[in-house]
A and B are shown apart, each in its own frame.
Chain A
Amino acid sequence: MTPVERAGQEAGLRGRLRALFPFDWELLRHAGAEPVPYHLKKWWFCLGGTVLYLFIVQVVTGIALTFYYVPSPAQAYESVAAITREVRFGWYIRSLHKWSANFMIVAVFLHMLRVYFTGAYRHPRQLNWCIGFLLLGTTLTFGFTGYSLVYEQLSFWGATVACNLAAAVPLAGPYIGYFLRGGPEVGENTLTRFFILHIGVLPTVTFILLGLHVLLIRLHGVTELQFEGEEAPEGERHFRFWPEHATTELMIGVLLMYLLTVVALVFPAGLGEQADPTRTPEHIKPEWYFYFNFRLLKLTSLQLSVVLTGAIGAIAFLWPFIEEWLSRRFRMPDEAPVIVGVLGFLGFLVLTVWECFAA
């Protein structure tokens, strides 16, 4: 007898309700009963969950902001100003959205660092690394499109530069550029496109990728790590996802909410000068997470920087497979990937800080 048939035979109201929605609740219970390895009690192994939590904050605050935001060049800036100054708790929601976005990007990077250096991307979890990397892409695109929606001078011109970068991609570039801008220049269509990307396309893609990411984690199980001299007591090697681990995540969530509120209060989201398409500001800057790219652009040329970023991205995306191939071919020592990772991340940091010092 299938679970659905079983549900249909149950008596009383419970049975009737189950017949209405013949879902095998055992599956959910089974999914929640995932045994979680002992080391996940350490907070820094919960960074993936942190990203998910912040994403939920983004969704909720984002919906609230959409109630008031008007995606037209003539009214965008004014509506953001109204959200910030007039709408009840508008400034708080907007500040939460802004800071949570920044926190989310930081958390994504930290999560990737952890996964990378603990080698959790290795066989059989290569595919999940790739999905995770795509999620990094959607997160950054979220940040970029969201920042542009504010329609202040810096964000407008940041978007212009980013579109130029996209247009410099070899072969498909001009088409991508045209598609993003909705024309040959950044104009009236661009804002609408960014808006649709930000509130429609990207969330959908992210939900799908997140679903796959979590599903694969559940299917593979979390990588079990054993720290030297930190053996878990027998019988405590694993604990339950629900409710033990969920509680840990919830507590981290509360702490994050507290942190977000503090930064939103101390550094509320401001509003620069309104975008003026006729006047290029003296200094154009994207958000900090694109500084490395911007520095690369200034150090090389538009074309070269795009090719370099693409190459670095492709290597990072396929790293689990590349590493496997390299170690098979060259018998790479265990330290090699660690060194590559340290150098790569330091390179990212150096370019980022360098750009902030460059006037």
Chain B
Amino acid sequence: MTLTTKRYIVAALSFLFLASLLVVAYHESKRHRAEERPGPVVTAANRGCVDCHRKDGPALVMEWEHSRHAQYGVGCVDCHAAEKGEMDAWSHEGTTVSALVTPKDCARCHAREYEQFSRSHHARAGEILASLDNVLAEKAAGMPGNIADAVNGCWQCHGAIVKFKRDAQGGILRAGKESKPVIDPDTWPNSGMGRLNPDGSKGSCHACHSRHAFEAKLSRSPENCGKCHMGPDHPQIEIYNESKHGIAFYANRDRMALDREKEWVLGRDYSAAPTCATCHISSYMTPQGIAVANSHDVGERISWTLRPVISTKLNLVIYEDGFKEDYPDTRALPKVGDQAQTVEKVVENEKLISKTVPRKVARVVTWEDRRKGMKGVCLNCHNDTYVDNFYKQYDDLVVLYNEKFARPAQQVMDDLTADGVLNPKAPFEHNVQWVFYELWHHEGRRARHGASMMGPDYTHWHGMYEVAKHFYTKFLPEVVEIAATKGPALRQKYEQKVRQLLAQDAHVWQKGLKPEEAEALRKMYRERYNQ
């Protein structure tokens, strides 16, 4: 074979090589194009907003560009568009818009989530505005004409009733060349979970899904819930951080697939740790397949209520129109098909009022069913015995708190009111009322929450220890002291009550330990510390 022939062979092979590479490159680039994350799609309707706000609020536009909304061409007007005549609407650069995006606005696309969320505990967070907590913020910490503590404190988590400034005739005040409605600055900005919106909807999606990037990883992260679920009265985030779950999460954040698009399923997409969302909202694997929850109804898997003075198990009644009502297990359950009078809180004339609405019962979910839902999450990592025994430990703690401290304390407070010692209209007039309030609302909750989420220190030292200490050293002495102010007869009566209480098996330890127990104690300190 001549060298020239070989030359042609080399040339032919080289051309074939080039052709092959071009074919490969063509196919690869086609595939890459399909896989690439699409950039922000600015539709004609949003072009004007984006161009202008890129100068006026550029970070806001950047955040939006980063969102999945932007990738699907869902832009400013798709959420901010309003109908002419809506209370919060005004014509901005020729488009009728509203600054306030409510769950109803989100429901234009996310109808299912809106429906689920609207019936959840979260959506009703604003309904507690008539509680002792609010009295403390508005009255105890506030003063006439200044409720700044409630505005900056309570309402930022629970949500405000969004109100407008009014003129003399009661019409909405408008300002500026665009006649923008003037929102009462006490009520806006507000991203409280249970915000009561002018369009009648309850809640704020932004509370969990922060605008304008709406990142899934943010709402799946425990810190997100920790904005509100923290502090002396409900330290869920602190308890979580203390628990094995929290420790595993922070150590393995990179394995949590927090950015996963669409469903985020425990046991399929991640396994390292549960977050708040995992246990209370998200989907998980079961032997039958995915238990698609993602229900946006955050209380669905909760079987105890740990909030009141005395904890009760929680049943759930669902009515035909989807309305849900928690039934403490102390309240008789209706049957499916029964007609029931339900109480619904609605805003009328910018005030929260209770309305009685007759409804037909569609479904009854017992506390056992709710617990089963939660156990389904646990069973992704633990076996039946482990989970059942955990619940036994947790239940026992709640019962202990209920029976040893909460029930007797509540009984004494009721007696003091019945005897005219306490004024039911003055919930924080005397020391004993403050002590009692903290006993259940702070210390008692900490103990119960601690046990529910495996935070040992919150269960004991921040919880039951404080309950016991204040029950014996503050609450009972205060009871006698306040009774004594109403005369020697009442003083004697309450001294007698306290004596009887302390003579019960649960409290008799105060009078002294058994000799062998006391000796064991002394021995331990001697041996351990030589003291």
A267 vs B3: C-alpha distance in the bound complex, in angstroms?
38
A interface footprint on B265-297 (CB within 8 Å = 1, 0 otherwise): 000011100000000000000000000000000
B interface footprint on A318-352 (CB within 8 Å = 1, 0 otherwise): 00000000000000001100100010011001001
A276 vs B9: C-alpha distance in the bound complex, in angstroms?
46
A interface footprint on B1-33 (CB within 8 Å = 1, 0 otherwise): 111101101100110110011011101110110
B interface footprint on A100-134 (CB within 8 Å = 1, 0 otherwise): 00000010011001100111000000000000000
Q: A117-B9, A273-B37 are in contact. Are A353 and B14 (CB under 8 A)?
A: no
CB of B35 within 8 Å of the partner chain: yes
Once the chains bind, are A345 and B3 in contact (CB under 8 Å)? no
CB of A44 within 8 Å of the partner chain: yes
A335 vs B13: C-alpha distance in the bound complex, in angstroms?
16
Category for how many chain A residues contact B: 35 or more
CB neighbors of A among B246-280 (8 A)? 254-255, 257, 259-260, 269-271
CB of B93 within 8 Å of the partner chain: no
Q: A225-B3, A226-B3 are in contact. Are A270 and B36 (CB under 8 A)?
A: yes
Partner pick for A278 among B10, B21, B24, B269, CB 8 A cutoff? B269
Q: How far is the CB of B400 from chain A (nearest CB, A)?
A: 40
Once the chains bind, are B10 and A117 in contact (CB under 8 Å)? yes
* Residue with the greatest number of chain B CB neighbours at <10 A, chosen from A277, A278, A342, A352: A278
Contacts of A353 in B (CB 8 A): 20, 23-24
* Residue with the greatest number of chain B CB neighbours at <10 A, chosen from A227, A349, A357: A349
Once the chains bind, are A228 and B4 in contact (CB under 8 Å)? yes
CB of A272 within 8 Å of the partner chain: yes
Once the chains bind, are A272 and B13 in contact (CB under 8 Å)? no
Once the chains bind, are B27 and A228 in contact (CB under 8 Å)? no
Contacts of B27 in A (CB 8 A): 356-357
Looking across the interface, which residue of chain B has its beta carbon closest to that of A118?
A: B6
CB of A74 within 8 Å of the partner chain: yes
A interface footprint on B31-49 (CB within 8 Å = 1, 0 otherwise): 1100111000000000000
A interface footprint on B458-480 (CB within 8 Å = 1, 0 otherwise): 00000000000000000000000
A279 vs B17: C-alpha distance in the bound complex, in angstroms?
35
Q: How far is the CB of A227 from chain B (nearest CB, A)?
A: 5
Partner pick for B32 among A109, A226, A272, A357, CB 8 A cutoff? A272
Once the chains bind, are B1 and A335 in contact (CB under 8 Å)? yes
Q: A113-B13, A273-B37, A342-B9 are in contact. Are A227 and B1 (CB under 8 A)?
A: no
Once the chains bind, are A228 and B2 in contact (CB under 8 Å)? yes
Contacts of A278 in B (CB 8 A): 255, 257, 269-271
Once the chains bind, are A270 and B3 in contact (CB under 8 Å)? no
Q: How far is the CB of B17 from chain A (nearest CB, A)?
A: 7
Contacts of A225 in B (CB 8 A): 3
A259 vs B387: C-alpha distance in the bound complex, in angstroms?
65
Contacts of A22 in B (CB 8 A): none
Main secondary structure of the interface of B (DSSP, over half): helix
Once the chains bind, are B254 and A74 in contact (CB under 8 Å)? yes
A114 vs B14: C-alpha distance in the bound complex, in angstroms?
9
A1 vs B6: C-alpha distance in the bound complex, in angstroms?
51
Q: How far is the CB of A217 from chain B (nearest CB, A)?
A: 19
Partner pick for B24 among A119, A277, A291, CB 8 A cutoff? A291
Contacts of A174 in B (CB 8 A): none
Contacts of A44 in B (CB 8 A): 10, 14
Category for how many chain B residues contact A: 20 to 34
B interface footprint on A172-197 (CB within 8 Å = 1, 0 otherwise): 00000000000000000000000000
A289 vs B398: C-alpha distance in the bound complex, in angstroms?
65
Contacts of B257 in A (CB 8 A): 276, 278-279
Once the chains bind, are B3 and A338 in contact (CB under 8 Å)? no
Q: A334-B1, A357-B27 are in contact. Are A352 and B6 (CB under 8 A)?
A: no
B interface footprint on A258-290 (CB within 8 Å = 1, 0 otherwise): 000000000100101110111100010000100
Once the chains bind, are A110 and B14 in contact (CB under 8 Å)? yes
Contacts of B7 in A (CB 8 A): 117, 227
A109 vs B20: C-alpha distance in the bound complex, in angstroms?
13
Looking across the interface, which residue of chain A has its beta carbon closest to that of B30?
A: A356
Once the chains bind, are B3 and A352 in contact (CB under 8 Å)? no
Q: A272-B32, A273-B37 are in contact. Are A73 and B17 (CB under 8 A)?
A: no
Once the chains bind, are A270 and B10 in contact (CB under 8 Å)? no
CB neighbors of A among B35-71 (8 A)? 35-37
Q: How far is the CB of B375 from chain A (nearest CB, A)?
A: 24
A113 vs B20: C-alpha distance in the bound complex, in angstroms?
15
A227 vs B259: C-alpha distance in the bound complex, in angstroms?
63
Once the chains bind, are B9 and A227 in contact (CB under 8 Å)? no
Once the chains bind, are A227 and B4 in contact (CB under 8 Å)? yes
Looking across the interface, which residue of chain A has its beta carbon closest to that of B254?
A: A74
Once the chains bind, are A272 and B3 in contact (CB under 8 Å)? no
Q: A277-B255, A279-B269, A356-B23 are in contact. Are A345 and B36 (CB under 8 A)?
A: no
A312 vs B296: C-alpha distance in the bound complex, in angstroms?
58
A259 vs B24: C-alpha distance in the bound complex, in angstroms?
19
Contacts of A338 in B (CB 8 A): 1, 6, 9
Once the chains bind, are A346 and B16 in contact (CB under 8 Å)? yes
A334 vs B29: C-alpha distance in the bound complex, in angstroms?
42
A58 vs B489: C-alpha distance in the bound complex, in angstroms?
97
Contacts of B269 in A (CB 8 A): 278-279
A234 vs B1: C-alpha distance in the bound complex, in angstroms?
26
Once the chains bind, are B17 and A106 in contact (CB under 8 Å)? yes
Contacts of A118 in B (CB 8 A): 3, 6, 10
Q: How far is the CB of A194 from chain B (nearest CB, A)?
A: 18
Once the chains bind, are B24 and A356 in contact (CB under 8 Å)? yes
A272 vs B20: C-alpha distance in the bound complex, in angstroms?
24
A346 vs B28: C-alpha distance in the bound complex, in angstroms?
21
Q: How far is the CB of B281 from chain A (nearest CB, A)?
A: 20
Once the chains bind, are A110 and B17 in contact (CB under 8 Å)? yes
Contacts of A117 in B (CB 8 A): 6-7, 9-10, 13
Q: How far is the CB of A51 from chain B (nearest CB, A)?
A: 15
Contacts of B259 in A (CB 8 A): 274, 276
Contacts of A283 in B (CB 8 A): 31
Once the chains bind, are B16 and A114 in contact (CB under 8 Å)? no
Q: How far is the CB of A265 from chain B (nearest CB, A)?
A: 15
Contacts of B2 in A (CB 8 A): 228
A177 vs B7: C-alpha distance in the bound complex, in angstroms?
42
Q: How far is the CB of A5 from chain B (nearest CB, A)?
A: 48
Q: List 9 A-B contacts (CB under 8 A).
A: A117-B6, A117-B7, A118-B10, A226-B3, A270-B36, A272-B36, A274-B259, A338-B9, A352-B24
B-side residues, CB < 8 A to A, are: 1-4, 6-7, 9-10, 13-14, 16-17, 20-21, 23-25, 27-29, 31-32, 35-37, 254-255, 257, 259-260, 269-271
7 A-B pairs besides A279-B260, A291-B24 with CB distance below 8 A are A270-B32, A274-B259, A278-B255, A278-B257, A278-B269, A278-B271, A357-B27
Q: Which 4 A-B pairs have the closest CB atoms?
A: A356-B24, A356-B27, A349-B20, A117-B6
A-side residues, CB < 8 A to B, are: 44, 73-74, 106, 109-110, 113-114, 117-119, 225-228, 267, 270, 272-274, 276-279, 283, 288, 291, 334-335, 338, 342, 345-346, 349, 352-353, 356-357
